[in-house]
Structure 1
Amino acid sequence: MSLLQQARPATALDAGPAAYGWSEDQRWTLARVPRLIGRLFHVSYTLRGTSYLLHRIDWSPQVPAHRAVERDEDAIIAWRTETWAKVRG
């Protein structure tokens, strides 16, 4: 797969699973990626082949690349400085 061909799956993966109908969670699993590739390119990949492809484009399955949309950085900082400081002693 050429660099140009690799850019399209990477762009699709960046859009996230919800963009392709998987809204129950925000993780790309190894089982989902070959189904996405099948939709986009009309080819089939095995799980092992998909794993090799993901590693070639610097992706790993089941590891979210982005933080949750609901993440509140201010609340996290406050918790670390106040609550965690008390717990640590």
Structure 2
Amino acid sequence: MFWHIRLIYFITKLIRFTFLFRSFTQKINDIDPEVFNRVNKQIIIQKSAISTIKQYFNGKLIVNISPVSKERIVVSTAKVTGFKKWVDL
């Protein structure tokens, strides 16, 4: 899922798109925190979509998902600790 020009795009495992005309913050309040995690300012990922997690510079992480994202998914340094707990690392 990513945010662009006030739209939220969901990319599902079936690679279909859903457009929501709501704010990113409103959508975050509607999702299950056990299933979804906001990894940075732009991206929320679903736990079951994670394929690999790799160390990045300055304590950040790179997350690869399935289906493959066109965007590089970087977990910000501020979110790494919470993200690791969420995925049980």
* TM-score of the pair, normalised by structure 1: 0.28
| Higher share in helix | 1
TM-score by length of 2: 0.28
Between Structure 1 and Structure 2, the one with more strand by share is: 2
